[in-house]
């Protein structure tokens, strides 16, 4: 099997390129958006065709290149079914696999760092490779304090799904922060300070609860973007729209608040359609995917949720009014004062 281990130095994220040397079919595991040109150039130089983009989980520290790689190459995007990434082409269950020529990439559910984490297991002639994401790192593991994380669940995942493999199985993690590149099941069983043999589930839960880590700097951007296969938030300022009626008129304006808010003190924009957030999915089924949509709510928060939802449904031009109707009203010229 052709194999390359690539690093995004800003987030210490490993991306893995795997390919069948005969058919030239390739897969990328956990590609990073800012490294997309590097990865596509390598694929081209090696004469490969990208067939799959596989995510180990919804990352909180970088934005995936999955959606953009799909757009540029036609590759199929893959995630574990519990990750809840509605925009992925294939959501696989534990034990299912995708094929790269003679090779099978088997999905193994390894939740605990997040509720939707999976590992990918590949058997080659020489050895078995395990791409563990953040479930198992070299001498460590991913944190368990957000995104449905659960320390006891992670302990079981590592012990039952990863440490149960032969000792010589090679571990390729999602990150490393100390310059290391790989490990083995045997090494981690013996030396992982959190998960090695002899540490009980209760001890592991205590270790994880005492970490007291700060939130990842990119979390507020990365998690919603990754739920939408990498589409970042797009917003427009109220001042820009108030200064340009033509720009405002270019949008289909969707207000995702409730009726009492739409007709309430903040009012709504002329031409806005009321589509409460809970009804958006059903309503959007009949909309043209390429039209420019402006999403509005009270503060911008529900509109951002709506944006992720629409991008996941294939809408390509979705913008949120920053600050919502609250910002719109406070930025309006004071008519009484002018008069």
Residues that bind Fe ion (CB under 5 A): 134
**How far apart (Å, rounded) are the C-alpha atoms in residues 231 and 309?**
11
Q: How far is the CB of 59 from Fe ion (least distance, A)?
A: 5
The residue of the chain with the least Cβ separation from Fe ion equals 134
The tokens for 149 are: 């994380």
CB 122 within 8 A of CB 1: yes
Would you say 134 or 176 has its CB closer to Fe ion? 134
Question: To the nearest 10°, the Cα dihedral for 143, 149, 155, 159?
Answer: -100
Residues whose CB falls within 8 Å of the CB of residue 202, separated by 6 or more in sequence, listed in order: none
CA-angle at 328, arms to 228 and 275, nearest 5°: 50
Would you say 141 or 295 has its CB closer to Fe ion? 141
Would you say 25 or 139 has its CB closer to Fe ion? 139
Q: How far is the CB of 117 from Fe ion (least distance, A)?
A: 8
Q: How far is the CB of 114 from Fe ion (least distance, A)?
A: 7
Would you say 146 or 287 has its CB closer to Fe ion? 146
Would you say 43 or 141 has its CB closer to Fe ion? 141
DSSP string, 234-286: -EE-HHHHHT-HHHHHTSEEEE-S-HHHHTSTT---TT-EE--GGGHHHHHTT
Half-sphere exposure for 105 (CA within 13 Å, toward CB): 30
Would you say 134 or 150 has its CB closer to Fe ion? 134
Q: How far is the CB of 202 from Fe ion (least distance, A)?
A: 24
Q: How far is the CB of 61 from Fe ion (least distance, A)?
A: 6
Q: How far is the CB of 57 from Fe ion (least distance, A)?
A: 6
DSSP string, 195-217: TSTT--HHHHHHHHHT--PPPPT
């Amino acid at each position: 099997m052709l194999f390359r281990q690539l690093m995004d130095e800003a987030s210490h994220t490993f991306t893995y390129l795997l390919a069948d040397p005969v058919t030239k079919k390739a897969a990328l595991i956990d590609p990073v958006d800012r490294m997309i040109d590097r990865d596509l150039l390598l694929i081209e130089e090696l004469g490969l065709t990208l067939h799959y983009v596989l995510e180990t989980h919804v990352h909180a520290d970088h934005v995936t290149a999955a959606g953009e790689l799909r757009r540029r190459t036609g590759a199929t995007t893959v995630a574990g079914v519990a990750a809840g990434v509605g925009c992925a082409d294939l959501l696989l269950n534990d034990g299912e696999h995708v094929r790269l020529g003679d090779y099978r990439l088997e999905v193994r559910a390894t939740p605990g760092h997040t509720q939707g984490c999976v590992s990918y297991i590949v058997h080659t002639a020489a050895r078995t490779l395990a791409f563990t994401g953040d479930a198992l790192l070299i001498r460590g593991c991913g944190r368990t304090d957000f995104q449905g994380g659960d320390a006891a669940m992670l302990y079981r995942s590592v012990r039952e799904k990863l440490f149960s493999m032969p000792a010589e199985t090679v571990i390729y993690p999602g990150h490393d922060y100390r310059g290391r590149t790989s490990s083995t099941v045997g090494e981690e069983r013996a030396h992982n300070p959190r998960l090695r043999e002899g540490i009980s589930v209760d001890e592991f839960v205590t270790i994880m609860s005492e970490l007291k880590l700060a939130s990842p700097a990119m979390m507020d951007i990365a998690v919603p973007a990754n739920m939408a296969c990498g589409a970042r938030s797009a917003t427009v300022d109220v001042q820009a729209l108030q200064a340009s009626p033509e720009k405002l008129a270019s949008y289909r304006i969707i207000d995702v608040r409730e009726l009492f808010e739409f007709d309430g003190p903040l009012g709504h924009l002329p031409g806005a359609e009321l589509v409460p957030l809970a009804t958006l999915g059903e309503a959007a089924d009949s909309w043209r995917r390429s039209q420019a949509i402006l999403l509005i709510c009270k503060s911008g928060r529900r509109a951002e949720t709506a944006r992720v939802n629409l991008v996941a449904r294939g809408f390509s031009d979705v913008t949120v009014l920053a600050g919502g109707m609250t910002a719109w009203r406070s930025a309006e010229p004071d008519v009484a004062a002018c008069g």
